[in-house]
Chains A and B, each alone.
Chain A
Amino acid sequence: MKIPSHASRSIVTRNAVSVGLATGLYGISFGALAVTSGFNFFQTQILSLGLFSGASQFAVVGIIGAGGGSIAAIATSSLLGLRNGFYALSLANLLKLKGYKKVLGAQITIDESTAMAVANNNDEDLGRWAFWATGISVFVFWNIATAIGAFGAQFVTDPKSLGLDAAVAAAFLALLWPRLSNLKIRTVALIAGVLAFSLTPFVQPGIPVLASVLIAIIFGLREKK
Chain B
Amino acid sequence: MESKWVVVIASSVIAFILKITGYIIPEKYLEKPTIKSITNYVPIVMLSALVIVQTFSQGQTLVFDARLLGLLIAFLLLLFRAPFIVVVIAAAFVSALFRYLFN
Contact = CB atoms under 8 A, between A and B. Distances in A.
Given A166-B71, A175-B47, A50 B12 contact: yes
A64 to B, nearest CB: 6
A53 B11 CA distance: 11
A67 B31 CA distance: 37
Contact of A170 (B31, B43, B88): B88
Is chain A's interface secondary structure helix, strand, loop, or mixed overall?
A: helix
Contacts of B52: 193, 196-197, 200, 208
B92 A167 contact: yes
A36 to B, nearest CB: 10
Nearest to A79: B42
Nearest to A203: B60
B84 A196 contact: no
A91 B18 CA distance: 14
26 contacts: A46-B12, A50-B15, A51-B12, A56-B11, A60-B8, A62-B50, A64-B4, A66-B54, A81-B15, A83-B40, A84-B22, A86-B22, A89-B23, A102-B20, A166-B94, A167-B92, A169-B71, A173-B51, A192-B46, A195-B49, A196-B50, A202-B60, A205-B53, A205-B57, A216-B38, A216-B41
